[in-house]
Structure formats: C-alpha cells, structure tokens
Amino acid sequence: MSDRKLRLGEELISPLHSLYDGLQVDGSPRPAHLAPTHPVWVVTRYRDAKTVLSHPGVRRNAQEAAKLYTRRTGMNCPQTGASLSQHMLNADAPEHTTMRDLVSHAFTANQIKKLEPYIEQVTEELLDTVATQEKADLMADFAVPLTIAVIFELLGIPEAERNHARLSWERQSQLLPVSEANALANEQADYIKKLLEAKRAHPADDVFTGLVQAADEMKQLTESQLVSMAHLMMMSGFETTMNMIGNAIVTLLCNPEQLSLLRNQPELLPGALEEIVRYDSPVRASMLRFTVEDVDLGDVTIPAGEYVLVSNLTANHDADRFDNPDSLDLTRNASGHLGYGYGEHQCIGASLARLESRIAIGRLLRRFPNLALAVPHNELQWLPITFLRALMSVPVLPGQPELAQAPH
C-alpha cells in the first residue's frame, strides 16, 4: 500500500475531512469509522471506485440501509428530513430508473443550452455589482445567487416566491440540529406540495410541470416520492455547482501560471473546468452505500452487509489513472474523472453544471483581469462537511474591471 497523502498545491488535505486524516491515496479499501457506531469501508483507488459505484451488489436504498443500521447497532437509524428523502438518489433500480426517467429529458445538453442567455444575463448583472465593490465575496455575491437563480428558473419556481424559497433552501445546506432540520424539511415539503398543485392547475414550460405531468400519467409514484424528487432537483441543482465555482476561482488564483495560460488561451476553458473538477472535486465522496453480496476488488473483498464510502476526490488523484495527479494541468485530458460520479447515479445535472461554470468563470476572468484573493490562501475557511469540499466564502479584490464585452 502506498503512503502518499492527498496534496493540492502546497496544501496537504484530508480527502474526507478531519475524520480521515490518516487516509492514504491509492491504498486498498479499508475499514474506518464515520461515527463511533458506524464502521464503513473507505474506497480510495480509481479502479475500485468504479467497480463499487457500478456493482449490482452495492446499493443505496434508504429503507434497507436503515434496517442494516439497526441490525448492526441494535439502535434505530436516526432519520433526518424523512419527508424529503424518498427520491432517486436514495433508491435502486427499478424504482431508481423509473424516477430518473421522469426528469432525465429535461437535463440533456440540448435542453440545457436553451438556458444559456438567461445564465449570461444573470452572470453579467451579478458581476456589474461585484465591479462596484473594492472587496467582494464571490460565494455570497456571485456563486450562490447565480446557481440558485438558474436552477429556480429551470424548475419553474415563480419569481415572487424565489427569495423565500432561496432562504429556506440555503438553510438546508447548514448543519442544523435534528429537530430543526426535520421542521425545515416539513415546511419545505408543504411548500413543494402547493407548488406542484399549482403546476397541475396552471401548466408551464418548466421542469416541475413536466415532472408532475409525467408522474400523473405513470401513476407509480407516491406523493412523498414526487415531493422528494422535486426537493432533490432544487437542492442538488445549486449546492454542488456553487461550490464548484468557488473552488474553481480559488484553484485558479492559487495557480497563477495556469491562470495566465487560461487567460491567454480562453478556448482551453471547457477542458480546464474538467481538470478543476478532477483536481478539487466539490463532491469529496459519493453518498454512503452498502453491500448485499461480497464485492471482490482483487486484493480485498468487502463482505456482504457492510457500509461503503467511495472517495471521489482521492480516486481522482490516483496515480495509476492520472499522471502526476496532484498537479493542476489545465491542458490535461481529464475525461473519465469521477467528479460527477459513475454508474446509475452519475450526475444528471452535469450538462447544466458545465454550462453554468463555463459562463461564470469565463465572464469573471474576462471582466476582472487583476482579480486577486483578499486573504492568504491558508486563511480561507472550508465547511466541516465530510461529503462536500465547500468554501464558506471567497474574499477577493476584484481590481479595475474591463468593460463588459460580447462573448468570445
């Protein structure tokens, strides 16, 4: 087993937050603890990650996972936000396939392309405000409002309700005590039920109308599943993309040679963003899974009835898959990285995330040729969450802006 640790630039980071400080990259899967009562097998190698994420004996089903927890600990599995959790990311085939089919057509690259003018308009408006500031926080002032505006537009959240919904779903990303998290989930479920009712009564050209109509036609989904699916779209539609934009800005500002390469050759941007997602994936780890049969990984077999955690970030830094994996190389062909997952739960919103981040980062760099971090890199604050690599804020000095121009 290699004892190489994960390194991003000068920083030696824990691939899965401080719980896993000793975790090695390229090592064979090994047991660790997510909590004292919660032993899990942690998978870090690229090839093992792909095997586990596509193995028929590895499951996500939330009810079965809770039963396994009770069998292993003798305790009831703590349930948070149960009223919003019956969605496809917590289901296995065939239920997973049925639910995914309801929305997948809305997330194809062609469908998403229609949003391009809207994303450009919101991006420019937000950057106009950034340009008036001496110091800005590119999370609060840019990445968060942009990604929320875009997903709400796509899903069809009425304009008058966006502010309220935004505050509510932003709270969802915070670490709340269980009772508060449950109260928030019930409130959000009530809001979604009313919203979907309104879409039934007054259909529009948006994803939620399509979701309600397809579900009504199919008659296979419970109301709770429908509401949970709508919630999954709202939540996953902005949380990861806003973190990706924040991480991308910091990654570029901390790698000035690579940044100037990109400034000189803006056509590198789409490939550069793939490399940035490989290098500093906002999703550090896939959602927790469990085995229902022995899973053979060559040198190690994970027995049936075990929890498994795949570290996408470490897999993306596996030297057997990517040459010189701990360096950022914006000219690298990073395709095949696991930043958007792998297997049947692979990210459904990847086309949207790619378009949004391309417009956001491209326009930001063009408008602000002297953009700089306002604090030293080691003073940036990361959220203490195992599954996400997320910045609390990105303080910058925008510098003298260029006048807004037509896109390349």
Site string for ligand HEM, 87-126 (x = CB under 6 A): -xx----------x--------------------------
Please give the order of strands across the beta sheet that includes 372-373: 136-137, 395-397, 372-373
Between CA 406 and CA 408 the distance in angstroms is 7
CA triple 25-28-33, angle to 5 deg? 80
Between CA 310 and CA 105 the distance in angstroms is 28
- Whichever of 236 and 386 has its CB closer to ligand HEM, that residue is 236
Q: Which of the residues 286 through 305 are near ligand HEM (CB under 6 A)?
A: 286-287
Interface stretch with ligand HEM, choices 10-18, 28-36, 109-117, 334-342 (CB under 6 A): 334-342
Q: How far is the CB of 103 from ligand HEM (least distance, A)?
A: 8
Mention every residue, 6+ apart, whose C-beta is less than 8 A from residue 382. 389, 390, 391, 392
Using CB under 6 A as the binding rule, whether residue 339 contacts ligand HEM is answered as yes
Using CB under 6 A as the binding rule, whether residue 210 contacts ligand HEM is answered as no
Cβ-contact 19, 285 below 8 angstroms: no
- Whichever of 228 and 241 has its CB closer to ligand HEM, that residue is 241
- Whichever of 262 and 398 has its CB closer to ligand HEM, that residue is 262
Using CB under 6 A as the binding rule, whether residue 27 contacts ligand HEM is answered as no
- Whichever of 210 and 237 has its CB closer to ligand HEM, that residue is 237
**What burial class does residue 226 get, using C-beta atoms within 10 Å of its C-beta: 0-12 exposed, 13-18 middle, 19+ buried?**
buried
How distant, in Å, are the alpha carbons of 2, 40, 269 from that of 359?
A: 39, 39, 10
Interface stretch with ligand HEM, choices 6-14, 15-23, 231-239, 317-325 (CB under 6 A): 231-239
Mention every residue, 6+ apart, whose C-beta is less than 8 A from residue 63. none
Using CB under 6 A as the binding rule, whether residue 352 contacts ligand HEM is answered as yes
| Token representation of residue 81 | 């936000």
Using CB under 6 A as the binding rule, whether residue 233 contacts ligand HEM is answered as yes
Binding footprint of ligand HEM on the chain (CB under 6 A): 88-89, 100, 232-233, 236-237, 240-241, 244, 277, 282-283, 286-287, 312, 339-341, 345, 347-349, 352-353
